[in-house]
Structure 1
């Protein structure tokens, strides 16, 4: 009785063939993997981390997480399933949530870039990015008008001096206001980066120790502080700062119980530090004794509290209003003059008249000027 030939038996006329099927994976294989929208997004963000700052990658994550969650809610399990109608439906759902046009523009613009990556690695059809249509936003509306205004900043700082001078909230707000620095730069400061004698801070790019600067080594700089800010930092160091170390043996200037605070923690601290009813009656009619917005985890929901970026915007506007030349302000806050004037310089008409034009008012009076028309 003959038996069936062994599958690995070689023919006399041809060399042996050994074929082992290998499942496609996210790291390679014979076919493009069926990635979910979440998996594809994570892969794209990891790729971006090679050349983009962590703050930029984080911004892209927050812009697209709503799309990923929407896909999961409607049952889209593979990013390759997304079509033009899905994109239209998603955009409609976001519009119905009352998003500002600039926010929707940013989200859809980032979604388009994400799909362009997906086309490149053959996860979606090549025409899909063109089906994303970010709304056109007038130039005047491309900049958020929300900022911490000078009068409120002054009221908050005065409140802290009188009630809890040198507290963590007071120090964070003072550093942010008098330097205009980004959240990440403030979080990355060490105790040794503060020089009381020279009245300045040193900002250093330390990506390997998880405290990078937005613009890398180009963001390294010394920033001078007024005596008012130094007095706050001194009080904080003497009375309120916890003697803590981070995971790299460094001593953070701003500390939490665990050492160096997380980015989210610093953001939450700023929201809580800028709640307006700390210094005046609640503008929304709430009772401070029962208002949930005064809770650490809910302060960001207060319509009048401000994020670190909004404090930065207010600080930059204030510095310009005080007559500091734009090029000097740009150096202090580590941005280009073009970006500074487009995105951060937001004076009200009254502020502009009162502060910027005051040095020229004396020229607008009649007197014994030479060259009078006779």
Structure 2
């Protein structure tokens, strides 16, 4: 028997849901807010002043809208659908929607083509970019950040939060610390704190950046950030823009999109993201994790290094093709078979 429902609009329901998600960290809450805004905007445009009236057929229409009119990729739709499902689960709990509506949110499966995600920043491309910067802009801030991103597979917030005292060049490691009180939290809080070893080449690049190109800065808290600009600690937006800028293909060769560099909007300051082939820090993190997986690094070591669970790595970062994964599994089975044959 259907319960009596309490009238509520989409925007108010979203506010209550986000307030209720005390289990999420602030950045995760913002990610949920961004995804739900797309849903709320559509609901309001369709005239849904009360979620009581929402049906499974309406959810199907929204899904069709996201795919056909917004051009959302299957992998993105899959990730967003988990948030929509959680939202409607909450709405059911406060008598805002019909019982069973959350179960009608379809979570799309991904085929082999979908697994080649639309950011597809392959490790070899990052290596080529690093080689290019190393020749023409060695030990610049961008060179040092890209080298650390690709070598460590860290998040941009972790890189931004590094202080001079966290970078141990003589001992070849960096230490990521959670410092929310001075605006440099780690995504996973204290659980994200960890030391990470550096290769000699990367440590050398960081050392040369520090000696030659780092702008000396000290914050009011007394902290001395490692990556700096003339305004202070490097900002998240500055990190993103640097990665977008350096991953434009025209930085190393011809434009694959037949654009004229003289008129291309992506060549303007702050608009590098307008290039279809430019990539964000998240994509460099994906390329780094894919590199480690292809090099057959121990899975538990990768999880600790990049501070992500095996499930998260599998769903969001592993860029290997299905054939690469099958080959890896076959090799693993052969190793185990040889091992047991020797006993």
Post-superposition offset of 1:355: 11
Distance 1:295 1:356 in 2: 46
SS state of the match for residue 232, structure 2? coil
For residue 307 of structure 2, the aligned residue among 297, 316, 334 is 334
Larger radius of gyration: 1
For residue 163 of structure 2, the aligned residue among 187, 190, 194 is 190
1:108 aligns with 2:81: yes
For 1:60, the equivalent position in structure 2 comes to: 32
In structure 2, the CA distance between the partners of 1:252 and 1:153, relative to structure 1 (3 Å rule), is same
For residue 48 of structure 2, the aligned residue among 56, 76, 79 is 76
Distance 2:292 2:107 in 1: 34
In structure 2, the CA distance between the partners of 1:197 and 1:151, relative to structure 1 (3 Å rule), is same
**1:321–1:356 contact (8 Å) kept in structure 2:** no
**Deviation sequence 1:15-71 (CA, Å, 0-9, x none):** xxxxxxxxxxxxxxxxx98654233323322332x3222332232222222112223
For residue 230 of structure 1, the aligned residue among 197, 203, 211 is 203
In structure 2, the CA distance between the partners of 1:60 and 1:342, relative to structure 1 (3 Å rule), is closer
For 1:172, the equivalent position in structure 2 comes to: 145
**2:6–2:95 contact (8 Å) kept in structure 1:** no
For residue 267 of structure 1, the aligned residue among 240, 264, 276 is 240
Structure 2 runs not aligned, ≥5 long: 332-343
RMSD between superposed Cα atoms in Å: 3.4
**Deviation sequence 1:262-308 (CA, Å, 0-9, x none):** 43443333222211211122222223333222334332232221222
Distance 1:139 1:208 in 2: 44
In structure 2, the CA distance between the partners of 1:102 and 1:347, relative to structure 1 (3 Å rule), is closer
In structure 2, the CA distance between the partners of 1:327 and 1:107, relative to structure 1 (3 Å rule), is closer
**2:117–2:319 contact (8 Å) kept in structure 1:** no
Distance 1:122 1:247 in 2: 49
For residue 51 of structure 1, the aligned residue among 19, 23, 35 is 23
Distance 2:231 2:14 in 1: 31
In structure 2, the CA distance between the partners of 1:327 and 1:42, relative to structure 1 (3 Å rule), is same
For residue 204 of structure 1, the aligned residue among 177, 180, 187 is 177
> TM-score with structure 1 length normalisation?
0.75
Distance 1:106 1:90 in 2: 15
**2:292–2:302 contact (8 Å) kept in structure 1:** yes
Distance 2:91 2:231 in 1: 39
Larger helix proportion of the pair: 2
Post-superposition offset of 1:223: 0.9
> TM-score with structure 2 length normalisation?
0.81
In structure 2, the CA distance between the partners of 1:159 and 1:140, relative to structure 1 (3 Å rule), is closer
Distance 2:165 2:220 in 1: 16
Distance 1:139 1:283 in 2: 25
Post-superposition offset of 1:106: 2.2
**Deviation sequence 1:237-268 (CA, Å, 0-9, x none):** 23433334557443322234543344344333
**Deviation sequence 1:147-171 (CA, Å, 0-9, x none):** 4223211221122122222222212
In structure 2, the CA distance between the partners of 1:265 and 1:89, relative to structure 1 (3 Å rule), is farther
Distance 2:81 2:131 in 1: 42
The count of aligned residue pairs is 326
**Deviation sequence 1:298-329 (CA, Å, 0-9, x none):** 32232221222211121122234345333323
**1:164–1:170 contact (8 Å) kept in structure 2:** yes
Post-superposition offset of 1:211: 2.4
1:42 aligns with 2:15: yes
Which deviates the most, 249-258 or 227-236?
A: 249-258
Which deviates the most, 54-63 or 275-284?
A: 54-63
Post-superposition offset of 1:353: 12
